[in-house]
Amino acid sequence: MHQSVHVELGERSYDVEIGPDLLPQAGVRIAPLLPRPRVAVITDETVAALHLEALRDGLGSAGIEMTSLALPAGEATKSWPQFERAVEWLLSEKVERRDVVVALGGGVIGDLAGFAAAVLRRGVRFVQIPTSLLAQVDSSVGGKTGINAPQGKNLIGAFHQPSLVLADTSVLSTLNARDFLAGYGEVVKYGLLGDEDFFEWLEANGPALSSGNMSARVQAVTRSVQMKADIVARDETEQGDRALLNLGHTFCHALEAATGYSDRLLHGEGVAIGYALAFELSARLGLCAQEDPSRVRAHLRAMGMKTDLADIPGDLPDAAALVALMAQDKKVVDGQLRFILARGIGEAFVTSDVPQEAVASVLQDALANRRSN
């Protein structure tokens, strides 16, 4: 059932291994990268309790020793204080230039540990072992690393590609339903941005995937990673096509800011609501068929996911305030909002040519819908 996806980036190329029970095989898979049989693992306290011993055993069976640092779980960890703690810990563990750092966890740990590896002794190699669905299909692949600043998310960081990614699909069974579905929001995004057949496959297989069917999970993670790998190989540092991966993100960032980056809205949930709105906007601009946004929403609903603004608990600001929050997004170029819109399912494109009134009117209607529900 194991799959392997190659990310082709010249001398920075690497493989993403996908399948069940990869943690027990971590040692044999990581060993070829190591000049000495020792790795430093950065994880969080929740993931450590669930998976650190399995990783220790997996490494141990190939004679690899491991030291570990478990940071607090949660987005607040992607900060200077925890970053400093991680870097100083790596130095105190005497991690050398040729050693390998391992990130065991979700997006927060992968981003922070990857950034620590990027700056430690001017750059050491690292291996991603993503434990959330979101990290397996998105953040562990492509080399974006970093932490948040008081001014905004992911504003401090570096492109630093991992040397190997081990996406163990067995660990997904320890995720709660909400976190799983938030990650699934990113899986659906790949179908919507570039592969209608994959979206159709998800419409048919999403329920099996969510209820634990392993071969469906492996297939979905593999297709998502393949699509991400292709895009990253074409445009590693987001000068063009890589921005397609931000489908739904301009709306999402405004909603995340409006909800205080809190539990009211997880990132993957905001992305799903965001691309539903992006399809609505595309339909209103006459770019795609009227049926497309309904089809997107129907699938999200069928999966029990948050689909529109009415699904976000608590108050939201008005449309003008949401548009103002979008304008603070780091993807704004020369003051122009950049959107990923679609000519149909699987046909996304990047544009700065979007009338602000059209965006405000989509949000106004979505907010009105919310009040009438």
**What is the binding site for ligand GLY (CB under 6 A)?**
138, 142, 144, 242, 245
Q: How many CB atoms lie within 10 A of CB 309?
A: 23
Which residue number has the CB closest to ligand GLY?
245
**Do 68 and 7 meet the contact criterion of CB atoms below 8 Å apart?**
no
The single-letter DSSP state of residue 336 is: B
Q: Which is nearer to ligand GLY, 55 or 113 (CB)?
A: 113
Q: Which is nearer to ligand GLY, 56 or 160 (CB)?
A: 160
- Residues 17, 186, 269, 280: which is the catalytic one? 186
**Do 19 and 169 meet the contact criterion of CB atoms below 8 Å apart?**
yes
Burial class (CB in 10 A: 0-12, 13-18, 19+), 171: buried
Place of tokens 């993807």: 331
- Residues 56, 125, 189, 249: which is the catalytic one? 249
- The nearest distance, CB 144 to ligand GLY, in angstroms, is 5
- Distance between CA atoms of residues 212 and 170, nearest Å: 9
Residue 167's φ and ψ, nearest 5 degrees, are -100, 95
Q: 74: which residues sit within 8 A by CB, 6+ positions away?
A: 44, 108
122 is catalytic: yes
Q: How many CB atoms lie within 10 A of CB 314?
A: 10
6 is catalytic: no
Strand, coil or helix: 4: strand
- Give the E-state strand segments of 132-174 in sequence order: 144-149, 152-159, 164-168
- Residues 45, 200, 238, 347: which is the catalytic one? 238
- The nearest distance, CB 143 to ligand GLY, in angstroms, is 8
249 is catalytic: yes
Strand, coil or helix: 51: helix
The structure tokens listed for 252 are: 């999402």
- The nearest distance, CB 181 to ligand GLY, in angstroms, is 18
Q: Which is nearer to ligand GLY, 203 or 238 (CB)?
A: 238
- Residues 56, 228, 297, 299: which is the catalytic one? 228
Q: 128: which residues sit within 8 A by CB, 6+ positions away?
A: 103, 110, 114, 135, 140, 141, 162, 164, 165, 166
228 is catalytic: yes
Q: Which is nearer to ligand GLY, 27 or 157 (CB)?
A: 157
Strand, coil or helix: 12: helix
- Residues 153, 253, 299, 338: which is the catalytic one? 253
Q: Which is nearer to ligand GLY, 211 or 239 (CB)?
A: 239
- Residues 56, 78, 144, 223: which is the catalytic one? 144
Q: Which is nearer to ligand GLY, 89 or 159 (CB)?
A: 159
144 is catalytic: yes
Partners of 104 in the β-ladder: 43, 129
- The nearest distance, CB 314 to ligand GLY, in angstroms, is 26
- The nearest distance, CB 249 to ligand GLY, in angstroms, is 8
- The nearest distance, CB 241 to ligand GLY, in angstroms, is 10
Catalytic residues: 122, 144, 186, 228, 238, 242, 246, 249, 253, 267
